[in-house]
Amino acid sequence: MLPSYYTKSLTPMKLLTTIAAVLISISAFSQNYVEYNEGTFTQNGEELSMEQIKDLAVLHKAGRGNIRRANKFDRMHKNNYLRLGNNTGGFVVGSCAGLVGVPFAFVGGAVVGTWDVDLGVGLGFGALAGGTGLCVVSYKAFSSITSSREGCLRRRDKQFKKVAEKLNDATYYKWIEEETGAEME
């Protein structure tokens, strides 16, 4: 039996070629890597302005909502009245939605649980869905409350780090698409 093409001694050369391609791709991608650290974005050691970050987010369609949320927390860090207004609004909306939503969810669940057509299973499902929706609104409202100025900075930094990750993912996938010609999802 003759040796096949794949069993010849070309395998180590293929391995070296693959390793070299991976190293080149990593070094090429790392040149466009966006980093965030304590209020500043950098790329290739050069500081980027917020306008440049916004433009990159719009270009790559990545992280625009995170930028909006981070800027909101940055404004609340700088202005105590904004933070107080946000906390008051979050508490009022969260309390009202929770006070209405929790009983609706329990009553709707109880009605659906009986499966009694006379009570109106459709009404039960409606109350359950409405109550659950109001509970979600209550959770989101309470989660927007920030107790301190430092809490605003932590949330800002968390959102800006997500922006950097999303931009890096988007540029990496775009680079892969350009190199391979394949469509990435």
Query: Could you give the CA distance from residue 106 to residue 128 in angstroms, rounded to a whole number?
Result: 7
Query: Could you give the CA distance from residue 63 to residue 65 in angstroms, rounded to a whole number?
Result: 6
- Which tens digit of pLDDT belongs to each residue from 7-24? 555 566 666 666 666 555
Q: What is the pLDDT of residue 43?
A: 86
Specify the DSSP element, H or E, that contains 29: helix 11-30
Determine the distance from the C-alpha atom of residue 116 to the mean position of all C-alpha atoms in its chain, rounded to a whole number.
42
Query: Could you give the CA distance from residue 53 to residue 46 in angstroms, rounded to a whole number?
Result: 13
Task: Quickly tell me which residue has 């969260």 as its tokens.
Answer: 94
pTM over 0.85: no
Q: Is the pLDDT score of 185 beyond 60?
A: no
Query: Could you give the CA distance from residue 64 to residue 58 in angstroms, rounded to a whole number?
Result: 7
What are the domain boundaries of the chain?
Answer: 48-168
Q: Rg of the Cα trace of the chain?
A: 26
CB 173: neighbour CB atoms within 10 A?
14
- Which tens digit of pLDDT belongs to each residue from 99-149? 999 999 998 888 877 766 665 677 888 888 999 999 999 999 998 888 888
Cα angle 12, 17, 22 (rounded to 5 degrees) comes to 125
Cα angle 9, 18, 164 (rounded to 5 degrees) comes to 165
Dmax of the chain from CA atoms? 84
